[in-house]
Amino acid sequence: MSFYGLVDGSEKSLIQYLDQLSGVDQVGAEARAAMLATRSIKTTSKKWAIETAISMVDLTTLEGADTPGKVRALCSKAVRPDPTDPTVPSVGAVCVYNDMVEIARTHLDAIGGEHVPVAAVSTAFPSGRASMEVKIQDTQDAINAGAGEIDMVIDRGAFLAGKYGLVFDEIVKIREVCGDKAHLKVIFETGELVTYDNVRKASFLAMLAGADFIKTSTGKVAPAATPPVVLVMLEAVRDFYAITQRRIGVKPAGGIRTTKDAIKQLVLVNETAGPEWLTPNLFRIGASALLNDLLMQRMKMSDGYYASPNYVTID
């Protein structure tokens, strides 16, 4: 087996590859992210950024209390975020637990949302603590139910124990299950990997194993998609493209709640991976509350006065 001609999948080859990656200096990475956060995005560029961000939202509900009603409402919102303004684009995807995939898919198709994919969190989300058989079945179920995107979690315990081969194999197997039916996003739970060195290693490990997207977090652990974590992942996809000519997507998830947060993310993309990544095909934002803030900011820009939550729908 060969993965991009870079590793053969053995633990030894993985360790060799990951060890030759450049380290990440925490202070420098955080300083760069903080500097980019000072970019001031105004007027026309802000309008463009808001609409682009809306189209990148993976509108998410991942609660124990999720019901079919809640999921259907979310789907309606995903297709037409602002019912009063048809020029607002649909979001990037709807992201739900496995057992809600079919409900979501059916409802989206029923309301003219065929173009909005359903993303399913999979592989014993969020902890990933289950047997491989269960993880494969979990993924298969989601695909059978109509999921176009699989958001899998890596085994952080194995990663932190240095068992890169194990982590790699799981991603490879889930990739096989996805086949050409579903895009694979690999969630690192960066809050548990802790160091940027680990984030960079995990990024390359996942990309080598066949990830279509790399994703920061489950949303269940803080810190989640901090700007420096996303910066390090964007550097990784940029470097991976330089080596393989393949563009891997990035999905920050967790903690991005305001338009300001979202625009900071777009600036990071623009100035790190480059403008080629400024498309829902290569950048997504996992969020729920963010969408309404984007809509309110959009209203403010078109109306010229500050908006109220009373004028955006709550689900």
Partner 1 sequence: MATKKESRVEVKKTYKLFINGAFPRSESGRVFEVTAKNGDFIANPALASRKDLRDAVTAARAAQSGWSKATAYNRGQILYRIAEMLEGRADQFESEIVFTSHVTPAKAKALVAEAIDRWVWYAGWSDKLQAVSGATNPVSGPFFNFSISEPQGVVAIASSDSFLEFIDAIAAAVVSGNTSVVLVPGGLAVPAMSFAEVLATSDLPAGVINILTGSLDELAPWAASHMDIDGFDISGIQKKKHGALKEAGAENLKRIHSFGSGKTPARILAFMESKTVWHSVGV
Partner 2 sequence: MTFEYAPAPESRSIVSIKPKYGHFINGSFVAGKKHFPTINPATEEILSHIALGGTSDVDKAVMAAQKAYTKTWSKLSGKERGKYLYRIARILQERAREFAVLETLDNGKPIRETRDIDIPLVAAHFFYHAGWADKLDYAGLGHNPKAYGVAGQIIPWNFPLLMLAWKVAPALATGNTVVLKPAETTSLTALLFAEVCQQAELPDGVVNIVTGDGSTGSAIVNHPGIHKIAFTGSTEVGKKIARAIASTDKKATLELGGKGANIVFDDAPVDETVEGIVNGIFFNQGHVCCAGSRLIVQESIAEEIIEKLKVRMAKIRVGDPLDKNTDLGAINSKEQLIKIKELSAIGDAEGAERWSPQCDLSNKGFWFAPTIFTGVTQAHRIAQEEIFGPVLSVLTFRTPQEAMDKANNTPFGLSAGIWSEKGSRIFWASQHLKAGVIWANTFNKFDPASPFGGYKESGWGREGGKHGLAAYLKNGKETGAK
Residues 6+ apart with CB under 8 A from 210: 3, 171, 172, 175, 184
Asked whether position 27 contacts partner 1 by CB under 8 A, the answer is yes
The smaller minimum CB distance to partner 2, of residues 107 and 264, is found at 264
Residues 6+ apart with CB under 8 A from 128: 135, 153, 154, 155, 156
Asked whether position 43 contacts partner 2 by CB under 8 A, the answer is yes
| Residue 121 parent element (H or E) | strand 118-122
141 is catalytic: no
Residues 6+ apart with CB under 8 A from 37: 227, 264, 267
Asked whether position 38 contacts partner 2 by CB under 8 A, the answer is yes
251 is catalytic: yes
Out of 7, 18, 29, 268, the only residue in the binding site for partner 2 (CB under 8 A) is: 29
Considering only residues 188 through 207, tell me which ones interact with partner 1, judged by CB under 8 A: 194-195
Asked whether position 28 contacts partner 2 by CB under 8 A, the answer is yes
Considering only residues 225 through 254, tell me which ones interact with partner 2, judged by CB under 8 A: 235
The one catalytic residue among 151, 212, 261, 293 = 151
Asked whether position 40 contacts partner 2 by CB under 8 A, the answer is yes
Asked whether position 179 contacts partner 2 by CB under 8 A, the answer is no
Asked whether position 162 contacts partner 1 by CB under 8 A, the answer is no
Q: Give the count of alpha carbons within 13 A of 205, CB side only.
A: 33
* Residue among 279, 312, 285 at smallest CA distance from 297: 312
45 binds, among partner 2, partner 1, none (CB under 5 to 8 A by kind): partner 2
Asked whether position 35 contacts partner 1 by CB under 8 A, the answer is no
The smaller minimum CB distance to partner 2, of residues 150 and 236, is found at 236
Preceding peptide of 223 cis, ω within 30°: yes
Q: Whole-number minimum distance, CB 279 to partner 2, in Å?
A: 11
195 binds, among partner 1, partner 2, none (CB under 5 to 8 A by kind): partner 1
Considering only residues 66 through 125, tell me which ones interact with partner 2, judged by CB under 8 A: none
> Can you name the residues that pair with 10 across neighbouring β-strands?
none
Sign of the alpha-carbon dihedral angle for 237, 238, 240, 241: positive
Q: Whole-number minimum distance, CB 90 to partner 2, in Å?
A: 18
* Residue among 61, 55, 120 at smallest CA distance from 82: 55
The smaller minimum CB distance to partner 2, of residues 114 and 276, is found at 276
What Cα–Cα distance (Å) separates residue 283 from each residue in 225, 230, 233, 279, 312?
13, 11, 11, 6, 25
Secondary structure percentages of the chain, helix, strand, coil, to 5: 50, 10, 35
Considering only residues 261 through 290, tell me which ones interact with partner 2, judged by CB under 8 A: 266-267, 270-271, 275, 278
Q: How many Å apart are CA 285 and CA 258, to the nearest integer?
A: 12
Interacting span for partner 2 (CB under 8 A) from 38-46, 56-64, 67-75, 101-109: 38-46
Residues 6+ apart with CB under 8 A from 267: 36, 37, 39, 41
Provide the annotated active-site residues.
151, 215, 251
Q: In the complex, which residues of this chain contact partner 2 (CB under 8 A)? A: 22-25, 27-29, 31-32, 38-46, 48-49, 52, 235, 266-267, 270-271, 275, 278
Q: In the complex, which residues of this chain contact partner 1 (CB under 8 A)? A: 25-28, 30, 194-195
